[in-house]
Amino acid sequence: MSEHRIELTVNGHRHAALVEARTSLGEFLREELGYTGTHLACEHGVCGACTVMVDGVAMRSCLMLAVQANGGAVTTVEGLAEPDGTLHPVQQALKDNFGLQCGFCTPGVAITMAAVTRENEGAGAGQIEKALTAAMSGHICRCTGYQGIRRAIRQLAGATT
Amino acid sequence: MNIHAKSVGAVRYVGSRQPRKEDGRLLTGRGQFTDDIRLPGMLHIAYVRSAAARGRIVSIDMDAAREMPGVHAIYTQADLAAVPVAMQTFFFTPIEAPVTLLADGRVACVGDPIAMVIADSRALAEDAASLVEVVIEEETPVVTIADAKTGPLVHPDRDDNISAEMGDEDTREAIQPLLDGCAHVVSTRIRHQRIAQSPMEGRACVASPEGAGEMTVWIGCQSPHLAARYIALVLGLPAEALRVIAKDVGGGFGLKNIPWREEVAVIVAAKLLGRPLKWIEDRFEALTASSHARDQDVSLTVGFDGEGHLQAAWCDYACNNGAWPMGEDANIAVHMFMWPAYKLPAYGFVTRGWYTNTMGLGAYRGPWAMESLVRETLLDKAARKIGIDPVELRRRNLVYLTDQPHTSTLGIPVTDITPGECLEKLVASIDLAAFRKEQVEARKQGRYLGIGIATYIEPTGAAGSMAPMTGETVHLRIEPTGKVVAMLSTHSQGHGTATTMAQVIAQQLGVAYEDVAVYEGDSAIGAFSPGAAGSRQGVIAGGATWRAAEMLADKVKVVAAHLSNASVEAITIQGGMVHVAGAPEMTRSLREIAEIAYGEPGRLPEGAATGLEAQYRYQPPPMTMTSAAHCCMVEVDAETGFVKILRWISSEDCGTVINPGVVEGQIAGGLAQAIGQVLLEDMPYDARGNPLAPTFKDYLMPAISDVPDFEYLHASTPSQTIGGMRGVGEGGCIIGPPTLVNAIADALSPFGEIEELVLPLTPARVLDVIEGRDISGTRAHLEGGASAAVEAVLPVEVAAPAAAGGIDGDWNMILKTPMGPQVMVAHFDTDGSAVSGYLEAPEGRQDFAGGTLSGRQVKFEMKVEKPMKITLKYDLLFDGDSMSGKCKMGMFGSAKVSGERA
Ligand code: FES
Ligand code: FES
């Protein structure tokens, strides 16, 4: 198994490590760096639970290799809130609207929402709601029936216009 | 003087949408799920599983795997057998199938665990597992219920493939004349697909041996207390040697009711190896090798009089239990709860579970949900046939409050159910006439709209009639800091119990919600409870916290009254401040009172215990009923067969609502799973016994685009429990399927009936109805398989004279009850044709007399009080040193009896 030295930042912190070529980014973040907020629920790219941002773009960390993130800036769910603990607007919206129950799918949901709201900054409410809803079709939540997630989307769309 | 004291009013936390206490950690990635646990020296497990559905294990070659660096051990059943294990059901009764943790010489389903590889990392363990070579002498598997009836024995040492059986074929003869006399007779058949429960976090277990024979276990479960009791029982460990922790669990839905083979194997292996071990199930395993659910074939026939009043019904229920069910199950609850909400005078049934070479069955949200699906879809079919509005048909038959108390045909009493009232509330909120008009207009344009309505009741908060279904304990204290801490037996896999329990405590104690901390999810705190099972925590733990908070408030009042020289009646607690009526200057904070209670015992009233603590265990009434009526509107695309859900309205009565956000979340989650069951999810097996949906690309989970916005109406009729709550965890998954099926059937009615409902209703199966031919190939598939379906040939009874010694003396006897087999000793004394004696079980001994002996046949009766008052009627046939027969158990139908001379 070939090993590679990689450097990257996670939530603004610099990390360097030796990783096997086959190690997924998700596994690396959890096992090597201890960012256990990122959850692996299917490990085959369907459920979205493992989503993290790499250079601002939402990526499925079960499908991306750690070596591919070399030199990149990764944001996990641990890095969404402000350093003083103020929740990111997507976290707040999920909380306000009972958008989570068991919380296993939630890290991926929150990261995708954060990435999509950022990509659509300044867009109209309709466009933001559409983009967020479309992005959420790539996330599976077994608990909530998506009701709170949808209300959170509406709150975010309303708040951003 | 506290001039603000008067302005602090009592806060009604119960009924308000308090933000969840759990969300802070879960939204910021700081939850603690089992896979987040890492311990020094911890090793990782991967299982080697069977790729064959049935056969004999010829050899297991582990040499190559053992040589891999990083591999510490590879265990097979021969190794694990060093620790004796007797697996049990959720009811703490023995599993009847000869289940071992790993396969013991034979495999009985694809996914059967054969060996466990223990290595430095999960990846290495998986690498090594792939190098283990297993040779299996394959045999033709028994896959379907039809196969089970005629095929070879799944477990060669058993008499037949019937895993469990209740009810009585004889009642068919009693019901038939009643049906013959009915103006309308309507039949339906439903084949419910196999479901993979699919919590987003799969099963997971970390076991850490500690000290002398002690063990700490982190596990994905639905109650750490139940998991601890279960593990201690099956391993024969003293319970005090075991601590189970489960802070955060990513969904359970019944699958995680009890630890199963893989989790128990982790614990046994940790014991053998003396190292902390972790097993995290991957999704492939979760879909194909976690216990499945449903997989039923049900026929129901119902007779109505000319006005649509129910007259009689007969049901034949069969359930594919797989090879290793978490408890052999004929699902008696389907029959018990099919009719208590309706005035039906006569009901008969036969109900069976069947062993097959497929993954074993476990529980899933509303395990008896078939009762609502088969009844409510039949009622709509009947309404179309009789030519009566489906709402009106229900009105003529439902048990309204004015009809209660009412007792169902099978003896279930109802005193405060409101399915009719929920229905009226629902109907009042929708304009049915307008929808029908729109439907007619739409049809003219080739658009097919449909509306479906269903009503149901659900037993929740059961306590006292089944071993694990008990009360809840709460230990509550006010810390010297004035903050409130609750230690509970509850467990949340998303239920938000820390939130709802804190709301109850804050309100009943008179403190701020923010000042209440709830600790749960650890067998070291609280006392035994089955946690999240049977929609019970809001009801029972809610009642326990309600009363404990009142008890603690009373204690604060006694202390405050003493300190202020006032009467207890003059004291009130509001917003964390303790007030004395008419003496605002005497107002003290709870903290001041607590500091005195802990630190200055001399200032307490004489005889008062120091500190501010209360403990209460609540044992509620045996059962608390929840009722609901739902309505769903759909549009079916006649070109593609695609179903679009337009609207969904829930009208439920779950009594006191502690937190509407939490209650609606439970309903919505259940409804999404219902939509999945009706339209999407399916775990089919091929003829070789291979599960065909091993990834989320094959097993279609409902996504945001499949689920509409739900609308809610809450009736909130308080129950008879402390606090008045009724359970709500499972309901959506029970009433959802018939509501949606009825809407689709209504949309399809211009084309014809869904004669036999085969789930899921995929677009192709919807097109079968629209085009009137077998587009989906479902019929061809079923008939291909069904041609082999022949009733099982019962073993021919060989007539032999009773043994010379007659029947006198002791017999080891097994009674197969709905809660699992019961082992007892039967003692018979004969005097001519008169028989007396006793039955002795671990629970006690009961005598009987007045029995009769004729030839080899013995009949006798025995009245029992538990779980309810029924008369057991034994009918036994003796043959040398063995005996067999049945026991009629009132509403529970008949149970098989077998035995041998002791
Ligand atoms: S774990 Fe990556 S998509 Fe499911
Ligand atoms: S909150 Fe449990 S899976 Fe989404």
Total number of domains constituting chain A: 2
Q: For all residues of chain B together, what is the average pLDDT?
A: 93
Q: What is the pLDDT of residues B49-61, one digit of tens each?
A: 999 999 999 999 9
Instruction: Look at A101 and B707 and tell me if their CB atoms are within 8 Å.
Output: no
User: What's the mean pLDDT in B619-629?
Assistant: 97
The residue out of A55, A78, A101 marking a domain boundary is A78
Q: What is the pLDDT of residues B277-335, one digit of tens each?
A: 999 999 999 999 999 999 999 999 999 999 999 999 999 999 999 999 999 999 999 99
Instruction: Report whether the peptide linkage leading into residue B605 is cis, meaning its omega lies within 30 degrees of zero.
Output: no
pLDDT at B843: 75
Grade residue B441 by pLDDT with cuts at 50, 70 and 90.
Answer: very high
Structural domain boundaries, residue A112: 89-157
**Assigned domain for A84 exists:** no
Instruction: Report whether the peptide linkage leading into residue B801 is cis, meaning its omega lies within 30 degrees of zero.
Output: no
Q: Which residues contact B44 (CB under 8 A, 6 or more apart)?
A: B118, B119, B120, B121, B122, B124, B125, B277, B278, B279, B280
- Domain chopping of chain B, boundaries: 369-461+623-782, 809-901
Lowest mean pLDDT among A131-135, B42-46, B898-902: B898-902
Q: Which residues contact A133 (CB under 8 A, 6 or more apart)?
A: A150, A153, B704, B705
Prediction ipTM score = 0.98
**A161: contact with B, CB 8 A cutoff:** no
Is residue B255 within 8 Å of residue B197, measured between CB atoms? yes
Is residue B280 within 8 Å of residue A41, measured between CB atoms? no
**Assigned domain for A83 exists:** no
DSSP string, B325-373: -SS----HHHHHTTSTTB--SEEEEEEEEEE-SSPPB---SSTTTHHHH
Ligand 2 nearest-atom number relative to CA A41: 3
DSSP string, B705-774: GG---EEEEE-----SSTT-B---SSHHHHHHHHHHHHHHHHHHTTT----EEESS--HHHHHHHHHTS-
pLDDT at A150 exceeding the cut of 60: yes
Q: Which of B887, B890, B780, B894 is nearest to B839 (CA)?
A: B887
The residue out of A12, A45, A78 marking a domain boundary is A78
**B845: contact with A, CB 8 A cutoff:** no
pLDDT at B78: 98
Residue B317: beta bridge partners? B298, B351
pLDDT at B512: 97
Query: Could you tell me which CATH class the domain B369-461+623-782 is placed in?
Result: alpha beta
Q: Number of residue pairs across A and B with CB atoms under 8 Å?
A: 167
Residues A19 and A59 in one domain: yes
Q: What is the pLDDT of residues B556-583, one digit of tens each?
A: 999 999 999 999 999 999 999 999 999 9
Residues A23 and A63 in one domain: yes
Q: How far is CA B46 from the centre of its chain?
A: 28
Residues 630-669 of B with CB under 8 A from A: 661-662, 664-665, 668-669
User: What's the mean pLDDT in B775-780?
Assistant: 94
User: What's the mean pLDDT in B370-380?
Assistant: 98
CA atoms of B341 and B456, how far apart (whole Å) = 7
Ligand 2 pocket test, candidate residues A142, A146, A147, A150, most atoms within 8 A of CB: A142
User: What's the mean pLDDT in B872-879?
Assistant: 88
In sign, the C-alpha dihedral spanning B36, B39, B41, B42 is negative
Lowest mean pLDDT among A37-41, B345-349, B484-488, B864-868: B864-868
Interface test with A, best of B17, B37, B44, B200 (most A CBs within 10 A): B200
pLDDT at B868: 62
Instruction: Look at B709 and A150 and tell me if their CB atoms are within 8 Å.
Output: yes
pLDDT at B6: 35
State the distance from the centre of ligand 2 to the C-alpha of B95, rounded, in angstroms. 32
Give the CATH number of the domain where residue A133 resides: 1.10.150.120
Proportion of chain B above pLDDT 90, given as a percent? 84
- Considering every ligand atom, which ligand is closest to the CA of A64? 1
pLDDT at B854: 86
Residues A71 and A26 in one domain: yes
pLDDT at B791 exceeding the cut of 60: no
Is residue A51 within 8 Å of residue A140, measured between CB atoms? no
- For domain B809-901, the question of CATH label 2.60.40.1250 is answered with no
**Assigned domain for A102 exists:** yes
pLDDT at B635 exceeding the cut of 50: yes
Instruction: Look at B672 and A96 and tell me if their CB atoms are within 8 Å.
Output: no
pLDDT at B792 exceeding the cut of 90: no
CA atoms of B884 and B783, how far apart (whole Å) = 36
Residues A74 and A96 in one domain: no
> Residue B36 carries which DSSP code?
G
pLDDT at A42: 98
- Considering every ligand atom, which ligand is closest to the CA of B23? 2
B198 contact residues in A (CB cutoff 8 A): 142
pTM of this structure: 0.92
Grouping H, G, I as helix, E, B as strand and the rest as coil, residue B426 is: helix
Instruction: Go through A24-39 and write b for each residue having 16 or more CB atoms within 10 A of its CB, e for each that does not.
Output: bbbbbbbbebebbbbb
Residues A151 and A130 in one domain: yes
pLDDT at B797: 38
Instruction: Look at A35 and B251 and tell me if their CB atoms are within 8 Å.
Output: no
Residues A68 and A15 in one domain: yes
Q: What is the pLDDT of residues B162-172, one digit of tens each?
A: 999 999 888 89
Interface test with B, best of A143, A150, A151, A155 (most B CBs within 10 A): A143
Instruction: Look at A102 and B251 and tell me if their CB atoms are within 8 Å.
Output: yes
Q: Which residue has the higher pLDDT, A85 or B879?
A: A85
pLDDT at B241: 87
Instruction: Look at A78 and B704 and tell me if their CB atoms are within 8 Å.
Output: no
Ligand 2 pocket test, candidate residues A46, A91, A144, A149, most atoms within 8 A of CB: A144
Instruction: Go through B483-498 and write b for each residue having 16 or more CB atoms within 10 A of its CB, e for each that does not.
Output: bbbbbbbbbbbbbbbb
pLDDT at B804 exceeding the cut of 70: no
State phi, psi for B445 to the nearest 5 degrees. Answer: -95, 10
Residues A53 and A107 in one domain: no
pLDDT at B862 exceeding the cut of 90: no
**B697: contact with A, CB 8 A cutoff:** yes
The residue out of A78, A111, A144 marking a domain boundary is A78
Give the CATH number of the domain where residue A61 resides: 3.10.20.30
Residues A54 and A104 in one domain: no
- For A100, the closest of B27, B709, B710 (CB atoms) is B27
State the distance from the centre of ligand 1 to the C-alpha of A59, rounded, in angstroms. 10
Tokens of B61: 């070659």
